[in-house]
Chains A and B, each alone.
Chain A
Amino acid sequence: MIRVPIARRAVAVAAGLVVLLLAAGVATLTLGRLGLSLADLTSWPPTGKSKFVLERLRGPRLVVAAGVGAALGLSGALFQNVTRNPLGSPDVIGLSTGAGAGAAIAALLFPGVVPTPAGALAGAVAAMALVYFSTGTGFRHPGRLIVAGIGVYAIGTAIIQYVVYAVERDKASVLTAYVNGSLNTRSWEQAATIWVVLLAVVPFVMLLSRRLTMSELGDELAAGLGAEPQRTRVAAVVLAIVLSAGAVAVAGPISFIALTAPQIARRLTRLPGPHLTLSALTGALLLVLADLAAQQAPIPVSLPVGIYTLALGGLYLGYLLIREWKKGTL
């Protein structure tokens, strides 16, 4: 009885997010010195300048941004559901820092031999393996997962800082930009990578979604309903790791999307449940907007998008928290 208006609200929010995402996409393609006019955008097939902008410059970047944002948002929603912690995210369990450390080691020890994204992926995998084995129980206990994550995070940060300290300045600066997560000069191969990962993972997430909603009721109740909370949790963590590893391989460790997207989605719908679809849409929207800001910001240097997500995500989270605390709802 009560579910009808609630579900309608979720659908309305999803539709709103899609519209906003499309608008942000059009803005990405049309704004700025190299932006296309709306007429260029609708004439098909594209020629000349619009072909260059669409196929080389901003097209792949936009598709990568949407895919990476969706993957991170979904991954964050899974992590937060499993750890029952609003701070649960691939950043917190050390995956992003592991990726950064992998990239740093590749740049320091094997310059030009191991490509940076491969190093990042190896680092992410190594970090997760370290977390997996040091908890002694795999991914089963959220508390242990977070503590082990803190340890791995610290090692990763130390490695990154040491490499940034040890190499010469230009290399250090390139590395710092990568470690923040960047979307500059993305290719269609990278766009394909992240979307293949997304499309491969999403069916499994959909299968899991009902059980995840049940597991929010607590382990005993969920077990009584046949949701097998332990196995559900392990499956969710594995899927979340695959999603964020894919995102890291394509764009570097972009921070705060995985953390904030589910929080925003939750507040938009005011519903219980893991908000998987809405978190993915919110993540995509956030990253596309952040990248739009990164491309159009009126400053002389082009900063990596990860810095914008960090600043904007941080400010937004702060605003949300203060507003809630004033209302006394948390």
Chain B
Amino acid sequence: MTRFLTKLIVALAVLAGAMLASIAFGSHPTSFGDVLDVLSSTADPNVATVIESRYPRTALGVLAGVCLAVAGTLMQGVTRNPLADPGLLGVTAGASAAIVTSIAFLGMSGDAVWWALPGGLLAGLLVHVIGSSGGGSGVARLVLAGAVVSAVLTAYVQAVTLSLPKVFDSYRYWVVGALGGRGFDVLTSVLPVAVAGLLLAAVLGSGLNTLALGEESAAALGANPGLTRALGMLAAVLLSTAATAAVGPIAFVGLAVPHIARWPAGSDSRAQLLFSALVGPALLLLADVVGRLVLAPTELMVGVVTAFVGAPALLLAVRRMKAAA
């Protein structure tokens, strides 16, 4: 138990460090000392403005990181497939399609959140309905259904964006996935969905443990694997929709963090969920800091950074896969 506590404290410290770094470093150079000055309200007002502009960005990073990582852990636990990723559920494509529709046909601009949310949820629901049609279940079906729904929605998004230059202009900035340029209002609008997803995930922890024993054993222990799986998918859809609506599609956090979290957490699903929720935001914020520094004074969006950090990690991990796989 004490070892668990130690690991927990280390993970919390890493997260705190990442948050501090996210507030302290940016394309406009400031220091930790400046941050302390601002916190004790003795700073130069210009520096204070710069640093305060990083608060919502950091908060969004924490929220999106938690959501994506927990969603990924749920997906991988429910499907028992180490490659499951929230993007496979059609959520990203659904959110994109809804945003494009709102800009193109309803004359909306700006606050895309309220469109991305229902779009992502509807697409996730559709994938689930198609995947479970005919009374069957199973992971392969869900992934195939996700691929189908994503393909059709992506085609729609491409058709609309290529036909209407104005829509294309807003869309191409959103689709990269970035933490910057968004305010606390975005955070408050997705927060209810994120909290609902997180509560569901917290309740499901022990159910996932039973599921990990295999379908038959789980049923024999009196668990309801079908229900656990359905609720787990629902939570994953809620969480990844919240994240996508808040910061745009971000690759790899949902795929990679569960693997990292398994290292301190071991095989207990509840511990995996907890550590994912700590590692996810730390990783996302550090990626964002890297993106701000590497091309300063311009910035690289966090979605690009996570892909460039996560993909090589995945490529290295491939070599360790069993030869038979």
Of chain B, the residue at the smallest CB distance from A176 is B162
Cα A322 to Cα B162 with chains together (Å): 30
Report which of A173, A303, A304, A326 forms a contact with B165, defined as CB distance below 8 A: A173
Of the four ranges (under 10, 10 to 19, 20 to 34, 35 or more), the interface on chain B belongs to 35 or more
B77 within 8 A of A: no
- In the bound complex, residues from chain B placing their C-beta under 8 Å from that of A158 are 251, 303-304, 307-308, 311
- The answer for the CA separation of A314 and B156 in the assembled complex, in Å, is 11
Q: Knowing A314-B151, A326-B134 touch, does A307 contact B325 (C-beta < 8 A)?
A: no
Stretch from B19-27, B139-147, B269-277 forming part of the interface with A: B139-147
Query: In the complex the two chains form, what is the Cα distance from A87 to B172 in whole Å?
Result: 28
Interface-central residue, B83, B145, B152, B308, by most chain A CB under 10 Å: B152
The number of residues on chain A lying at the interface, defined by a beta carbon within 8 Å of a beta carbon of chain B, is: 52
One digit per residue, 1 when the CB lies within 8 angstroms of any chain A CB and 0 when it does not, for chain B 144-183 equals 1101111110111011011101001100110110000000
Which A residues are closer than 8 A to B by beta carbons? 86-87, 130, 134-137, 141, 143-144, 147-148, 150-152, 154-155, 157-158, 161-162, 164-165, 169, 172-173, 176-177, 180, 255-256, 299-301, 303-304, 307-308, 310-311, 313-315, 317-318, 321-322, 325-328, 330
State A169–B151 Cα separation when bound (angstroms): 24
Bound CA–CA A206/B301 (angstroms): 47
In Å, the complex CA distance between A176 and B227 comes to: 42
Contact B159 A307 (CB under 8 A): yes
Check A314–B133 contact: CB distance below 8 A. no
Contact B134 A314 (CB under 8 A): no
Query: Does B312 interact with chain A (Cβ within 8 Å)?
Result: yes
Give the 10 A-B residue pairs with the shortest CB-CB distance, closest first: A314-B151, A158-B307, A311-B155, A143-B325, A310-B155, A134-B315, A325-B134, A151-B314, A314-B152, A318-B148
Q: In the complex, A12→B152 CA distance in Å?
A: 32
Q: Is B115 an interface residue (CB 8 A)?
A: no
Given A151-B318, A154-B252, A326-B134, A165–B168 Cβ distance below 8 Å? no
Question: In whole angstroms, how far apart are the Cα atoms of A321 and B150 in the complex?
Answer: 15
* Consensus secondary structure, chain B interface: helix
Is B176 in contact with A161, judged by CB distance below 8 angstroms? yes
Using a CB–CB cutoff of 8 Å, the interface residues on chain B facing chain A are 83, 130, 133-134, 136, 141, 143-145, 147-152, 154-156, 158-159, 161-163, 165, 168-169, 172-173, 175-176, 251-252, 300-301, 303-304, 307-308, 310-312, 314-319, 321, 323-325
> Which residues on A sit within 8 Å (CB–CB) of B252?
154
Complex alpha-carbon distance, A321 and B175, angstroms: 29
Having A87-B143, A165-B176, A325-B136, one finds 15 other A-B pairs with CB under 8 Å, namely A143-B321, A148-B314, A152-B311, A154-B252, A154-B311, A165-B301, A176-B161, A180-B162, A303-B163, A310-B155, A314-B150, A318-B130, A318-B152, A322-B130, A325-B141
Q: Chain A residues near B315: list those with CB within 8 A.
A: 130, 134, 148, 151-152
- Chain A residue numbers with a CB within 8 Å of B149 are 314, 318
Give the contacting residue for B145; candidates A136, A137, A321; CB below 8 A: A321
A307 and B158 within 8 A (CB): yes
Q: How many angstroms from the CA of A161 to the CA of B307 in the assembled complex?
A: 11
Cβ-defined contact, A325 with B133, below 8 A: yes
Residue of B nearest to A255 (CB): B151
The answer to whether A314 and B304 have CB atoms under 8 Å apart is no
Q: In whole angstroms, what is the CA distance A180 to B136 when docked? A: 34
Cross-chain contact A147 with B318 (CB below 8 angstroms):
yes
Q: What are 17 of the A-B contact pairs (CB < 8 Å)?
A: A137-B323, A143-B325, A154-B251, A157-B251, A158-B307, A158-B308, A161-B176, A173-B162, A176-B168, A180-B162, A303-B163, A310-B151, A310-B152, A314-B148, A314-B152, A317-B151, A322-B134
